[in-house]
Amino acid sequence: MPGDAVRASLRTQRHEEEKIVATTVPPVRVAAVPSAHPYVTAVADPAHVHLLADPPPPGAPAGQWWPPQVLLPTWLEQHAAEFDLVHVHFGIESYRPNELADTVATLRRLGKPLVYTVHDLENPQLSAQEEHRASVAVLAEAADELITLTDTAAEEVRAIAHRSPTVIAHPTLLGESPRPMGTAHDLMRVGVHLRDLRPNIDGVGTVATLVRAIADLRAQGARVEGVVRMNERVRDDEAAASIALLAEKCDGVRVERGPRQDDDELSTWLADLDACLLPYRHGTQSGWAELCYDLAVPVIGTRVGHIAAQHPGDFHTFGVGDPLSLARAIVGATDPAWSTPGSRRRAAEVERRRGERLTEWEAVRAAHREVYRRALSAEVAA
């Protein structure tokens, strides 16, 4: 298409210009926490930003980045010549608030800026949140630059740190790769992926609500099915057994168990859905909501955190324990013609969003470059 050709030409021109710039201006060396994370690599423009590799924790298996060594004062002191700034994203639950205060003090002593993206006002890996909130406050009050992903999350951060963060949208994690369009099937398919049943996933409550909603819709003549996916290895075997029992008692809901899906397998699984049900009991933002947006899969979820603010036009609300609200949400989410997997309209919507997201991706990277520039300029001025 002419539009695609123009976009490709502009990207090629931009890349050539970036090569020229990159040869004259050294990239910002960022010690990210963590570095090996899809979001972190997505927002870091490789022409202008160099991400240090995650330091391996002593005794940890290969590929494990936690507990993050970058947050240890001894690591910062020993490697200060290797990085320009620290950018914290995830993993602060590895340390207590007073330990993070030591991290902040060390960075100030070394004259190194701290950038903090507040992904998790509530930590999905934890049940109790008090200590996590204290850790968020330590970093949010001390950071040279603060980032959030939505305006609503920014309001909450403003109340904690008494300062305004920079709002930068969550970018696509699919890059320029082709998107799966899904496969057509006879029944409308609503899927929920419970992964390994980590603390913020309400597997039993969500599936119990889904079972009753599917039963009600089928009783009204709807051709709909529910698909529940869980990893083979979960953190709560008792909950997994209850979920399997709930599904067994409902005609129209089935449970899939299998190994943890890689990125391509997950995208393919999601693309086959007419709607994706999010099972969160607490949280802040959702990378899954972003992936569903890229794949033109409508999202159904509770009013948890700020997920609804990521793509409000694609978000449909239900309440756990309220099957009527879920049935209404399923009907509303699957109303657009593009919600049907394998259809021409789904394919067209995916391609439209692909162009939109690639443009946004460039803006997200540029915004991060500007944040780093400000942080480094402020440090030099100080």
Distance CA 377, CA 374 (A): 5
Decide: 183 and 342 in contact? Cβ < 8 Å. Answer: yes
Pick from 5, 205, 192, 200: which is nearest to 122 by CA?
200
* Burial of 367 per CB tally in 10 Å (0-12, 13-18, 19+): middle
pLDDT tens digits for 19-41?
Answer: 554 456 899 999 999 999 999 99
Peptide linkage before 259 cis (omega within 30 of 0): no
If DSSP codes are grouped into helix, strand and coil, which group holds residue 130? helix
pLDDT of residue 7: 53
Phi, psi values for residue 320, rounded to 5°: -60, 130
pLDDT of residue 1: 47
Token representation of residue 73: 């004062």
pLDDT of residue 6: 45
Pick from 279, 262, 282: which is nearest to 226 by CA?
279
pLDDT tens digits for 50-61?
Answer: 999 999 999 999
Q: For the chain, what percent of residues have pLDDT higher than 70?
A: 93
Pick from 162, 142, 45: which is nearest to 92 by CA?
142
Distance CA 193, CA 330 (A): 16
pLDDT of residue 229: 98
Q: For the chain, what percent of residues have pLDDT higher than 90?
A: 91
If DSSP codes are grouped into helix, strand and coil, which group holds residue 348? helix
DSSP assignment letter at 125: T
- Reported as a pLDDT band with limits 50, 70 and 90, residue 12 is low
Its pTM surpasses 0.85? yes
Please work out, in degrees rounded to the nearest 5, the angle formed at the alpha carbon of residue 174 by the alpha carbons of 169 and 180. Answer: 125
Q: What is the mean pLDDT of residues 172-189?
A: 95
Peptide linkage before 34 cis (omega within 30 of 0): yes
pLDDT of residue 35: 98
pLDDT at residue 346 above 70?
yes
- Reported as a pLDDT band with limits 50, 70 and 90, residue 163 is very high
Mean of the per-residue pLDDT values for the chain? Answer: 94
Runs of H (alpha helix) within the chain: 2-24, 38-43, 73-78, 97-110, 130-142, 151-161, 203-219, 237-248, 263-271, 287-294, 323-333, 344-381
Query: What are the angstrom distances between the C-alpha of 216 and each of 186, 213, 242, 289, 362?
Result: 19, 5, 21, 26, 45
Distance CA 85, CA 371 (A): 11
pLDDT at residue 76 above 50?
yes
Decide: 289 and 307 in contact? Cβ < 8 Å. Answer: yes
pLDDT of residue 4: 55
pLDDT of residue 148: 98
pLDDT tens digits for 183-214?
Answer: 999 999 999 999 999 999 999 999 999 999 99
Distance CA 57, CA 48 (A): 27
Q: What is the mean pLDDT of residues 62-80?
A: 97
- Category of 341 on φ-ψ map: left (φ > 0), alpha (ψ -120 to 50) or beta: beta
DSSP assignment letter at 88: E
pLDDT of residue 249: 87
Q: What is the mean pLDDT of residues 154-182?
A: 96
pLDDT of residue 358: 98
pLDDT tens digits for 250-297?
Answer: 999 999 999 999 999 999 999 999 999 999 999 999 999 999 999 999
pLDDT at residue 18 above 80?
no
Please work out, in degrees rounded to the nearest 5, the angle formed at the alpha carbon of residue 50 by the alpha carbons of 44 and 16. Answer: 75
- In one-letter notation, the amino acid at residue 300 is I
pLDDT of residue 13: 56
* Burial of 162 per CB tally in 10 Å (0-12, 13-18, 19+): exposed
pLDDT tens digits for 351-379?
Answer: 999 999 999 999 999 999 999 999 999 86
If DSSP codes are grouped into helix, strand and coil, which group holds residue 365? helix
pLDDT of residue 253: 98
pLDDT of residue 49: 98
